Structure 1
Amino acid sequence: MHVQEWLDSVPAVAVYAVVALVIGVESLGIPLPGEIVLVSAALMSSQHSHIDPLILGVCATAGAVIGDSIGYAIGRKGGRPLLAWLGRKFPRHFGEAHVATAERSFQKWGMWAVFFGRFIALLRIFAGPLAGVLHMPYWKFLIANVLGGICWAGGTTAAVYYVGVVAEGWLKKFSYVGLAAAVLLGLATMLVVKRRAKKARREPSQPAAEPVRAGD
C-alpha cells in the first residue's frame, strides 16, 4: 500500500486520541515528544481532509489542560520526595540542575511560568507537578494552564496547518527537483556550520598576557 493511501486510511479518531494522550501524559510529568506528535498530526490534517484541524486543536488543548491538572494534584500530594523519585527515574529531565532552574522560574514569575512554560520543552514537563509541589493556588494555576494550553495547542495546530497548506500549493507550482536542491542546500549549510563549530572548540584559547611589573 502506498504511504499516501495508508495515511488516508488512518481513522481520524485514532489521530485525535493519540495526540490528546501523548500531550496529556507529557503534561502529567512524563517526558514524551508531545510537540512532535502535535506538529505531525497538524501536518497530516493539512494534507488529509478527514482530519479536522479544529477538532485536533481542541483534543490537544484538552490533553494539555487535563494532564497538567493531574500533574498538579500528584505534585501537591507527593511533594519533594516525588521530585527526588523523578530525578532517579528520569535524570536527564528531572536532574537537580533542571529542577532548580524550573523552581527559580516559578518563584520569579508565578502563574506566568505555567503559561509560558507550555511553550518551553523543559517547563512543559515540569509545570503541573512543580506547581503542585510549590503549593501554587489552584485557581491561579488553572487560569494559566487553560490559557497556555489554548495558545500553545491551538496556535501550533493552526500555524502548522496553514504552513502545510501553503507548502502543498508551492510544491504543485514547482518541480520536486527544486525541492531536492533546497534540501541539499540546507544540509550543506548545516554541515558547514557544524564543522566550523567543532573547529572553534578544538582551537586552544589565547594565553592571557602577563601583567607588566612596575620596574619594567
Structure 2
Amino acid sequence: MPFIHHLHDIIAQYGYFAVFFLVAFESSGIPLPGETALVTAAVFAATGSLNIVLVILCAAAAAIVGDNAGYWIGREFGFPLVYRYGRYIHIDEGSLKVAQLLFRRHGGKIVFFGRFVAVLRAFAAFLAGVNHLPWPRFLVFNALGGIVWATLFGTGGYVLGHAFEHYARPVGLAALAAAIVGAVLASRFIAHHESLLRAEAEAAFPGPLVAPKEP
C-alpha cells in the first residue's frame, strides 16, 4: 500500500520523533496511524536502525501525553458540545446520564482497555474527560494501558521483524472481529437493560442534566 510505504519513509527519516507525534496525536483524538507507526518503528529496530527500548518508551510516553490532552479537552469543552449536538447522533439527555453512570462505575476499565481497541483508542480519554473521571484515577489506568500497549505491540514488531506484517493482518482481522462481536453483545446488553440503566442513571443524577463533577 502506498500509504504504508510513505509511513516507512517517515519513520526512516524522523525515527523516534515520528513515533512520538503520531501516537500522541492519535491518542488526543486525531485519526492518525499511531499504532501502525509503533509497529513499523519496531520492525526498523529489529534491523538495527532504531533502539527498541527507545521506541517503546517514546510510544508509551506519547500515549500518556496524548491521552491527557484528550482528557482535558473533553473535561473543559466536551460536555457542552456533546450536550448541544448529541441529538444529531441520537444521544439524548438520558443517554448522557447513562454514560456518566457507566464511567463512574467502570471508567478505569474503559480507559485501560480502550487503548487496545482502534475505535476507542482515539476517544476513550476524551469521553473520560467529558464525564469527569477523576484525573488521578484516569492517569493511573491511562499510564498502565499506554505502557502495556506500547510494550506488547513494540515487542511484537521487534521479535517478529518483517514477518510481523505477515501475521499482523490475520491478528488485526481477529481483533476487529472480536471488537465487533463485543460491540454487538454490549449493544444488545445495553438495549435489553436500557430502561433499568436509565432508571439507575436518573436516580443517580436526578433533575435536569448538568455538567458532570468528580464524585
Pair in the same fold by TM > 0.5: yes
How far does the alpha carbon of each residue in 1:48-96 deviate from its partner, in whole angstroms, 9 at most, with x for none?
x130010000000111000001111111100323447998xxx9xxx65
**Which residue of structure 2 lines up, in the alignment, with residue 19 of structure 1?**
19
**Which residue of structure 1 lines up, in the alignment, with residue 211 of structure 2?**
none
1:114 is paired with a residue whose SS is: helix
**Which residue of structure 2 lines up, in the alignment, with residue 33 of structure 1?**
33
Amino acid at match of 2:122: I
Judged with a 3 Å threshold, the aligned counterparts in structure 2 of structure 1 residues 52 and 85 are, in CA distance, closer, same or farther, namely farther
- 1:82 and 1:156 map into 2 onto residues whose CA distance is 34
How far residue 10 of structure 1 moved from its aligned partner, in angstroms, is 3.5
Unmatched 5+ stretches in structure 2: 171-215
- 1:67 and 1:22 map into 2 onto residues whose CA distance is 10
**Which residue of structure 1 lines up, in the alignment, with residue 183 of structure 2?**
none
Is the contact between residue 75 and residue 133 of structure 1 (CA under 8 Å) also seen in structure 2? yes
How far residue 120 of structure 1 moved from its aligned partner, in angstroms, is 0.5
Please give the root-mean-square deviation of Cα atoms over the aligned residues, in Å: 3.3
Describe how 1:28-107 pairs up with structure 2 within 5 A. Answer: 28-47=28-47, 49-83=48-82, 103=99, 106=103
How far residue 149 of structure 1 moved from its aligned partner, in angstroms, is 0.3
**Which residue of structure 2 lines up, in the alignment, with residue 208 of structure 1?**
none
Describe how 1:1-216 pairs up with structure 2 within 5 A. Answer: 10-11=12-13, 14-47=14-47, 49-83=48-82, 103=99, 106=103, 109-164=106-161, 167=163
Judged with a 3 Å threshold, the aligned counterparts in structure 2 of structure 1 residues 50 and 70 are, in CA distance, closer, same or farther, namely same
Bigger radius of gyration, 1 or 2? Answer: 1
Is the contact between residue 56 and residue 154 of structure 2 (CA under 8 Å) also seen in structure 1? yes
2:62 is paired with a residue whose SS is: helix
- 1:85 and 1:60 map into 2 onto residues whose CA distance is 35
1:110 is paired with a residue whose SS is: helix
- 2:75 and 2:40 map into 1 onto residues whose CA distance is 33
Unmatched 5+ stretches in structure 1: 169-178, 180-185, 187-216
Q: TM-score, normalised by structure 1?
A: 0.61
Is the contact between residue 104 and residue 133 of structure 2 (CA under 8 Å) also seen in structure 1? no
User: How many percent of aligned residue pairs carry the same amino acid?
Assistant: 40
Judged with a 3 Å threshold, the aligned counterparts in structure 2 of structure 1 residues 85 and 120 are, in CA distance, closer, same or farther, namely farther
Amino acid at match of 1:34: G
1:50 is paired with a residue whose SS is: coil
Residues paired across the two proteins, number: 154
- 1:105 and 1:33 map into 2 onto residues whose CA distance is 29
How far residue 108 of structure 1 moved from its aligned partner, in angstroms, is 5.2
Amino acid at match of 1:132: G
How far does the alpha carbon of each residue in 1:140-191 deviate from its partner, in whole angstroms, 9 at most, with x for none?
00000100000001211011110117x49xxxxxxxxxx9xxxxxx9xxxxx
How far residue 107 of structure 1 moved from its aligned partner, in angstroms, is 5.3
